[in-house]
Structure 1
Amino acid sequence: MSPPRPRVLVVEDNESIRVAVAADVDASGALVHECSDGRELEKLLDSFRPDLVILDIMLPGRDGIELMKVVRGTSSAGVILLTARDAVEDRVHGLAAGADDYVVKPFAMAELLARVESVLRRMGRVPSAVTVGDIVLDTNSGDATRGGHDLELTTTEWRLLSYLAAQRGRTVSKTQILTQVWGYDNYDANLVEVHVSALRRKLEAHGPRVVHTRRGIGYVLTA
């Protein structure tokens, strides 16, 4: 019997950010709920009972720091703060107030997903390894294997494979990959092609092709 999916609550008043974060966290295997302000947050703490809250600091009404105190007072959920303020004193203030982690906007989705995994793993809510077919990604060590063989990936290749694994079975565009892996969408798309080709060579040294091209659309990992 597989363990229950971790519950993640996304609290963000910017709809486009909220929807994107919720969709990608859901695709990574969590059960996700979203809301836009503190009133909804308080209701969902009781009804949804999240394991982790992704909480924007700059919310209408009470800000994220105040709302984090509400979370801490009524729940054992972890908290990751999202903010556009990247000054050291702001980060220190957020962490000192009780946040488990802190992500500055704009961020690469792959980075946020890695931080979500890290917090949930420390809480014992996710396994330390992600398995897709015969590919194993150890999120503790950063190692990757296929069929028991070390893949020796670069940092970028690791992020790329982790993102494709989180989206396994779904076709993702080059723009999505640029945004989620690099944090930008204005790089030359050839950058994606170069890294996908390098990743394929390492994967296919130990088995058949699993990263497929959907011509004119993007790439999909099927294993």
Structure 2
Amino acid sequence: MKDSRVLVVDDDPDVRGLLREMLERAGCLVREARDGREALKILYDARPDIILLDVTMPDLDGWQTLERVRDLTDVPVVMLTAANAELEKVRGLQGGADDYVTKPFGRQELLARINALLRRATSQRPPERETYEDDLLTVDVANAEITVRGQSVQLTPLEFRLLLAFVRNPDQVLSRDQLLDLVWGDSTAVAPDQVKLYVGYLRRKLEGALPDGETVPIETVRGFGYRYRPA
């Protein structure tokens, strides 16, 4: 975490000050933005390693900002919000956020989540010149491109990492903890139910490129985990 560049986006100066103090004590380099538009301007210059993004902001809110960030980069994004509703969390994860933290947050928990995302981003970058191919899909790892029966499929960075975990371990049952380690970088800092959520997202996106009734071979092995069984 030391020397990591963090962009804090929140319209509340007290929250920004609290986060700056906490992160700088952990050795991070912090930039602040008061709203989404300022954050997008800073993004080009600061090139942050991670973004902490408030949901409720005037003009360009957190959801709109996240959408534009994802058009530009796959930098890890943690959404910060006072809402604890499940639908809000699902919206954030579907929108491409890597994690979701409810205010008020525990300092140690937030630091652990940030550290897990930073560790994953630095240690699990896909190797160059790697391509996976079977009868169903082709994965160009270096360019983060996926085709299903020749049709291009767009995945979020997290969904792409999940697919890589499966195709790099074909016919092997991967437990939730294994997937949390492989995809999120930490089996303790992320809620296990996110695995089920993202496997569902991945299945639906891949199956969207298939004829009606045809499914992708990502199996749920009850009581154990998930398995990709290519034809």
TM-score range, shorter chain: 0.5 to 0.7
Deviations 1:178-201, CA, capped at 9 Å, x for gaps: xxxxxxxxxxxxxxxxxxxxxxxx
Aligned residue among 92, 95, 99 for 1:94: 92
What is residue 56 of structure 1 aligned with on the other side? 54
Q: 1:9-44: CA deviations, max 9, x gaps?
A: 000111111111011112112111011111210111
C-alpha spacing 1:46/1:92, structure 2 compared with 1 (3 Å)? same
Q: Distance in 1 between matches of 2:23 and 2:50?
A: 11
Map residues 1-223 of structure 1 onto 2, 5 A cutoff.
Answer: 5-124=3-122
Aligned AA for 1:85? A
Partner deviation per Cα, 1:121-178 (whole Å, 9 max, x = no partner): 11017xxxxxxxxxxxxx9588xxxxxxxxxxxxxxxxxxxxxxxxxxxxxxxxxxxx
Deviation at 1:76, TM superposition (A): 2.8
Q: Is the 8 A contact 1:51 1:76 kept in 2?
A: no
Q: Is the 8 A contact 1:45 1:75 kept in 2?
A: no
Quick one: which amino acid aligns to residue 122 of structure 2?
G
CA deviation vs aligned residue, 1:50-75 (integer Å, no higher than 9, x gap): 11110000011111011001111112
Residue 111 of structure 1, CA deviation: 1.2
Is the CA contact (8 Å cut-off) linking 1:53 and 1:77 kept in structure 2? Answer: yes
SS at match of 1:59: coil
TM-aligned CA distance change 1:37 to 1:141, over 3 Å: closer
Number of equivalences: 128
Of all paired residues, the percent bearing the same amino acid is: 42
User: Does the aligned pair in 2 maintain the 1:37–1:59 contact within 8 Å?
Assistant: yes
CA distance in 1, matches of 2:101, 2:186: 20
Q: Distance in 2 between matches of 1:42 and 1:34?
A: 11
TM-score calculated relative to the size of structure 1: 0.54
CA distance in 2, matches of 1:81, 1:141: 19
Is 2:37–2:65's contact at 8 Å kept on the other side of the alignment?
no
Report the Cα distance in structure 1 between the residues aligned to 2:7 and 2:31, rounded to whole angstroms. Answer: 5
- Code of the aligned partner of 2:21: A
Read off the aligned partner of 2:92 and give its amino acid letter: G
For the aligned residue pairs, the C-alpha RMSD in angstroms reads 2.2
Q: Secondary structure at the match of 2:27?
A: coil
SS at match of 2:122: coil
Gap runs ≥5 in structure 1: 126-138, 143-223
Q: Name the SS for the 1:62 alignment partner.
A: coil
Contact 2:8 2:53 in 1 (8 A): yes
Distance 1:86 1:28, change over 3 A: same
Q: Distance in 1 between matches of 2:186 and 2:59?
A: 38
**Whole-angstrom distance in 1 between the partners of 2:78 and 2:53:** 6
Instruction: Give TM-score, length-normalised by structure 2.
Output: 0.52
CA distance in 1, matches of 2:68, 2:186: 31
